[in-house]
Structure 1
Amino acid sequence: ILINTPASQGGIGDLYNFKLAPSLTLGCGSWGGNSISENVGPKHLINKKTVAKRAENMLWHKLPKSIYFRRGSLPIALDEVITDGHKRALIVTDRFLFNNGYADQITSVLKAAGVETEVFFEVEADPTLSVV
Protein backbone atom coordinates (compact mmCIF):
# COMPACT_ATOMS: atom_id res chain seq x y z
CA ILE A 1 0.00 0.00 0.00
CA LEU A 2 1.36 3.40 -1.01
CA ILE A 3 0.16 6.44 0.90
CA ASN A 4 0.72 10.09 -0.06
CA THR A 5 2.74 9.30 -3.17
CA PRO A 6 1.73 12.03 -5.55
CA ALA A 7 4.13 10.96 -8.33
CA SER A 8 4.72 13.99 -10.56
CA GLN A 9 2.94 16.30 -8.11
CA GLY A 10 5.49 15.52 -5.37
CA GLY A 11 7.84 18.11 -6.75
CA ILE A 12 5.14 20.77 -6.60
CA GLY A 13 5.75 21.22 -2.90
CA ASP A 14 2.91 22.79 -0.91
CA LEU A 15 0.36 20.22 -2.03
CA TYR A 16 2.06 17.49 0.05
CA ASN A 17 5.10 19.16 1.64
CA PHE A 18 3.49 21.97 3.57
CA LYS A 19 6.55 24.10 4.25
CA LEU A 20 8.12 23.98 0.81
CA ALA A 21 7.35 26.47 -1.93
CA PRO A 22 6.31 24.72 -5.13
CA SER A 23 9.20 23.85 -7.41
CA LEU A 24 8.15 24.27 -11.02
CA THR A 25 10.60 23.29 -13.72
CA LEU A 26 8.85 24.10 -16.99
CA GLY A 27 9.80 27.77 -17.06
CA CYS A 28 8.41 31.14 -16.13
CA GLY A 29 4.87 32.31 -16.86
CA SER A 30 2.20 30.06 -18.29
CA TRP A 31 4.08 29.64 -21.57
CA GLY A 32 7.54 28.77 -20.17
CA GLY A 33 10.66 29.44 -22.18
CA ASN A 34 12.29 31.96 -19.84
CA SER A 35 15.46 31.40 -17.94
CA ILE A 36 16.16 32.80 -14.48
CA SER A 37 19.06 32.52 -12.06
CA GLU A 38 17.12 31.06 -9.14
CA ASN A 39 14.75 28.17 -8.46
CA VAL A 40 11.49 28.54 -10.32
CA GLY A 41 8.59 29.03 -7.91
CA PRO A 42 5.08 30.51 -7.66
CA LYS A 43 6.24 34.10 -8.16
CA HIS A 44 7.54 33.11 -11.57
CA LEU A 45 4.10 32.05 -12.84
CA ILE A 46 3.33 35.66 -13.75
CA ASN A 47 3.64 36.19 -17.50
CA LYS A 48 6.66 38.42 -17.32
CA LYS A 49 9.52 38.07 -19.77
CA THR A 50 13.03 38.34 -18.39
CA VAL A 51 15.50 39.82 -20.83
CA ALA A 52 19.23 39.52 -20.29
CA LYS A 53 21.19 42.58 -21.32
CA ARG A 54 24.76 42.23 -22.46
CA ALA A 55 27.19 44.19 -20.36
CA GLU A 56 30.86 44.79 -21.01
CA ASN A 57 33.38 43.87 -18.36
CA MET A 58 33.77 46.61 -15.81
CA LEU A 59 37.06 48.45 -15.95
CA TRP A 60 38.51 50.19 -12.95
CA HIS A 61 41.53 52.19 -11.97
CA LYS A 62 42.67 52.20 -8.37
CA LEU A 63 44.15 55.50 -7.27
CA PRO A 64 46.40 56.01 -4.27
CA LYS A 65 44.80 57.26 -1.08
CA SER A 66 46.78 60.51 -1.30
CA ILE A 67 48.02 62.60 -4.20
CA TYR A 68 50.59 65.20 -3.22
CA PHE A 69 51.43 68.22 -5.35
CA ARG A 70 52.95 71.68 -4.92
CA ARG A 71 56.44 72.68 -3.92
CA GLY A 72 57.73 71.00 -0.77
CA SER A 73 55.38 68.00 -0.81
CA LEU A 74 57.96 65.46 -2.04
CA PRO A 75 59.49 64.56 1.37
CA ILE A 76 56.02 63.94 2.82
CA ALA A 77 54.98 61.82 -0.16
CA LEU A 78 58.20 59.76 -0.03
CA ASP A 79 57.76 59.23 3.70
CA GLU A 80 54.23 57.90 3.11
CA VAL A 81 55.46 55.47 0.44
CA ILE A 82 58.12 54.15 2.81
CA THR A 83 56.04 54.00 6.01
CA ASP A 84 53.10 52.32 4.25
CA GLY A 85 55.46 49.49 3.28
CA HIS A 86 55.25 49.78 -0.49
CA LYS A 87 57.76 47.58 -2.31
CA ARG A 88 57.76 49.11 -5.80
CA ALA A 89 57.47 52.60 -7.25
CA LEU A 90 57.13 53.97 -10.79
CA ILE A 91 58.40 57.51 -11.30
CA VAL A 92 56.85 59.22 -14.33
CA THR A 93 58.60 62.36 -15.56
CA ASP A 94 59.70 64.18 -18.70
CA ARG A 95 63.10 63.87 -20.37
CA PHE A 96 64.35 67.29 -19.18
CA LEU A 97 63.77 66.53 -15.49
CA PHE A 98 65.24 63.05 -15.91
CA ASN A 99 68.38 64.30 -17.69
CA ASN A 100 68.94 66.99 -15.05
CA GLY A 101 68.93 64.48 -12.18
CA TYR A 102 65.63 65.30 -10.53
CA ALA A 103 64.46 61.69 -10.75
CA ASP A 104 67.72 60.55 -9.12
CA GLN A 105 66.84 62.50 -5.98
CA ILE A 106 63.67 60.45 -5.63
CA THR A 107 65.08 57.06 -6.63
CA SER A 108 68.03 57.37 -4.21
CA VAL A 109 65.68 57.90 -1.24
CA LEU A 110 63.41 55.04 -2.31
CA LYS A 111 66.25 52.61 -3.04
CA ALA A 112 67.82 53.38 0.35
CA ALA A 113 64.49 52.38 1.92
CA GLY A 114 64.42 49.10 -0.04
CA VAL A 115 61.77 50.20 -2.55
CA GLU A 116 62.34 48.87 -6.07
CA THR A 117 62.07 51.80 -8.52
CA GLU A 118 61.63 52.27 -12.24
CA VAL A 119 61.66 55.60 -14.08
CA PHE A 120 59.57 56.35 -17.18
CA PHE A 121 60.72 59.60 -18.81
CA GLU A 122 58.98 59.59 -22.19
CA VAL A 123 56.27 62.03 -21.07
CA GLU A 124 55.95 65.27 -23.03
CA ALA A 125 56.70 68.32 -20.89
CA ASP A 126 53.61 70.49 -20.31
CA PRO A 127 51.37 68.27 -22.46
CA THR A 128 48.36 69.66 -24.29
CA LEU A 129 44.89 68.18 -23.86
CA SER A 130 45.20 66.29 -27.16
CA VAL A 131 48.34 64.53 -25.88
CA VAL A 132 46.69 63.49 -22.64
Structure 2
Amino acid sequence: MAFGVLMHLPKRYGQSSVSACPFCGGQAFAKNDQGIPCCTKHKALRLPDLKCICGRWLDQRESKFGVFYTCMSCGAVSFAKMMDANGDAIRKVLSGTGANDAASSRPASQGGQYMVGGTVRDRVRQKLARGEPLTPDELDFI
Protein backbone atom coordinates (compact mmCIF):
# COMPACT_ATOMS: atom_id res chain seq x y z
CA MET A 1 0.00 0.00 0.00
CA ALA A 2 1.22 3.43 -0.84
CA PHE A 3 -0.32 5.21 2.13
CA GLY A 4 0.16 2.54 4.77
CA VAL A 5 -2.25 3.06 7.65
CA LEU A 6 -5.46 5.04 7.23
CA MET A 7 -6.06 7.68 9.86
CA HIS A 8 -9.18 7.53 12.01
CA LEU A 9 -10.68 10.97 12.49
CA PRO A 10 -13.03 11.16 15.45
CA LYS A 11 -16.41 12.84 15.14
CA ARG A 12 -16.68 16.31 16.57
CA TYR A 13 -19.26 16.98 19.22
CA GLY A 14 -22.56 18.10 17.71
CA GLN A 15 -21.66 17.47 14.07
CA SER A 16 -22.63 13.82 13.74
CA SER A 17 -26.32 14.52 13.13
CA VAL A 18 -27.48 17.98 12.08
CA SER A 19 -31.14 17.97 11.10
CA ALA A 20 -32.70 20.60 8.87
CA CYS A 21 -36.10 22.27 9.09
CA PRO A 22 -38.43 20.82 6.41
CA PHE A 23 -40.05 24.22 5.88
CA CYS A 24 -37.03 26.52 5.46
CA GLY A 25 -33.96 24.28 5.39
CA GLY A 26 -32.35 26.00 8.37
CA GLN A 27 -30.93 24.11 11.31
CA ALA A 28 -33.65 22.44 13.36
CA PHE A 29 -33.42 23.32 17.05
CA ALA A 30 -36.91 22.31 18.19
CA LYS A 31 -39.66 19.79 17.44
CA ASN A 32 -43.22 20.69 16.56
CA ASP A 33 -46.19 18.92 18.14
CA GLN A 34 -45.97 16.16 15.50
CA GLY A 35 -42.41 15.37 16.58
CA ILE A 36 -40.82 16.68 13.39
CA PRO A 37 -37.56 18.58 13.90
CA CYS A 38 -37.92 22.20 12.75
CA CYS A 39 -36.58 25.66 13.48
CA THR A 40 -38.15 27.88 16.12
CA LYS A 41 -39.74 30.06 13.43
CA HIS A 42 -41.78 27.13 12.05
CA LYS A 43 -42.46 25.32 15.33
CA ALA A 44 -46.19 26.11 15.16
CA LEU A 45 -46.61 24.69 11.62
CA ARG A 46 -47.95 21.18 11.09
CA LEU A 47 -47.43 18.92 8.11
CA PRO A 48 -50.73 17.72 6.61
CA ASP A 49 -51.57 14.05 6.10
CA LEU A 50 -49.14 12.87 3.44
CA LYS A 51 -49.34 10.24 0.72
CA CYS A 52 -46.74 7.78 -0.49
CA ILE A 53 -45.65 7.68 -4.13
CA CYS A 54 -47.91 4.63 -4.54
CA GLY A 55 -50.93 6.73 -3.47
CA ARG A 56 -51.53 5.29 0.00
CA TRP A 57 -51.49 7.30 3.20
CA LEU A 58 -48.32 7.39 5.29
CA ASP A 59 -48.07 6.76 9.04
CA GLN A 60 -45.48 8.81 10.88
CA ARG A 61 -43.02 6.98 13.13
CA GLU A 62 -40.01 8.07 15.13
CA SER A 63 -36.83 6.15 15.84
CA LYS A 64 -33.49 6.96 17.39
CA PHE A 65 -32.38 8.12 13.93
CA GLY A 66 -35.27 10.55 13.48
CA VAL A 67 -38.68 10.73 11.86
CA PHE A 68 -39.68 8.29 9.11
CA TYR A 69 -42.93 7.13 7.56
CA THR A 70 -44.45 3.73 6.86
CA CYS A 71 -46.63 2.74 3.94
CA MET A 72 -48.80 -0.38 3.92
CA SER A 73 -47.49 -1.45 0.50
CA CYS A 74 -44.01 0.14 0.26
CA GLY A 75 -42.82 -0.28 3.84
CA ALA A 76 -40.54 2.27 5.46
CA VAL A 77 -40.19 5.58 3.61
CA SER A 78 -37.45 7.99 4.61
CA PHE A 79 -38.26 11.54 5.65
CA ALA A 80 -36.21 12.93 2.75
CA LYS A 81 -38.03 10.81 0.16
CA MET A 82 -41.39 11.82 1.61
CA MET A 83 -40.38 15.49 1.46
CA ASP A 84 -39.49 15.19 -2.23
CA ALA A 85 -42.73 13.40 -3.10
CA ASN A 86 -45.03 15.72 -1.11
CA GLY A 87 -43.59 19.12 -1.95
CA ASP A 88 -46.98 20.44 -3.07
CA ALA A 89 -48.52 19.82 0.36
CA ILE A 90 -45.65 21.58 2.08
CA ARG A 91 -45.94 24.54 -0.28
CA LYS A 92 -49.63 24.82 0.64
CA VAL A 93 -48.74 24.90 4.33
CA LEU A 94 -46.19 27.64 3.73
CA SER A 95 -48.47 29.70 1.48
CA GLY A 96 -51.26 29.46 4.05
CA THR A 97 -49.05 31.05 6.68
CA GLY A 98 -47.78 33.80 4.41
CA ALA A 99 -44.19 32.61 4.53
CA ASN A 100 -42.29 33.87 1.51
CA ASP A 101 -39.12 31.89 2.06
CA ALA A 102 -40.33 28.64 0.46
CA ALA A 103 -38.35 29.18 -2.74
CA SER A 104 -35.08 29.91 -0.98
CA SER A 105 -35.16 27.10 1.57
CA ARG A 106 -33.30 23.82 1.26
CA PRO A 107 -34.58 20.28 1.69
CA ALA A 108 -32.99 17.97 4.18
CA SER A 109 -32.12 15.47 1.48
CA GLN A 110 -30.57 17.52 -1.30
CA GLY A 111 -28.76 20.48 0.23
CA GLY A 112 -29.85 22.58 -2.76
CA GLN A 113 -32.64 25.01 -3.46
CA TYR A 114 -35.96 23.64 -2.24
CA MET A 115 -38.89 23.97 -4.64
CA VAL A 116 -36.84 25.92 -7.17
CA GLY A 117 -36.11 22.70 -9.02
CA GLY A 118 -39.59 21.59 -8.09
CA THR A 119 -40.89 18.34 -6.78
CA VAL A 120 -40.53 15.10 -8.66
CA ARG A 121 -44.00 15.61 -10.14
CA ASP A 122 -43.00 19.07 -11.39
CA ARG A 123 -39.82 17.71 -12.96
CA VAL A 124 -41.80 14.93 -14.68
CA ARG A 125 -44.24 17.50 -16.08
CA GLN A 126 -41.32 19.58 -17.36
CA LYS A 127 -39.76 16.53 -19.02
CA LEU A 128 -43.07 15.64 -20.68
CA ALA A 129 -43.45 19.21 -21.96
CA ARG A 130 -39.94 19.08 -23.46
CA GLY A 131 -40.56 15.64 -24.95
CA GLU A 132 -37.78 13.93 -23.01
CA PRO A 133 -38.07 10.23 -22.16
CA LEU A 134 -38.95 9.29 -18.59
CA THR A 135 -37.17 6.80 -16.37
CA PRO A 136 -39.15 3.90 -14.87
CA ASP A 137 -39.03 5.60 -11.45
CA GLU A 138 -40.58 8.76 -12.89
CA LEU A 139 -43.52 6.86 -14.39
CA ASP A 140 -44.98 6.52 -10.88
CA PHE A 141 -45.60 10.27 -10.76
CA ILE A 142 -47.81 10.56 -13.85
Q: TM-score, normalised by structure 1?
A: 0.24
Which of these two proteins has the greater Rg computed from alpha carbons? Answer: 1
- TM-score w.r.t. the length of structure 2 is 0.23
Larger RCO, structures 1/2 (Cα 8 Å, 6+ apart): 2
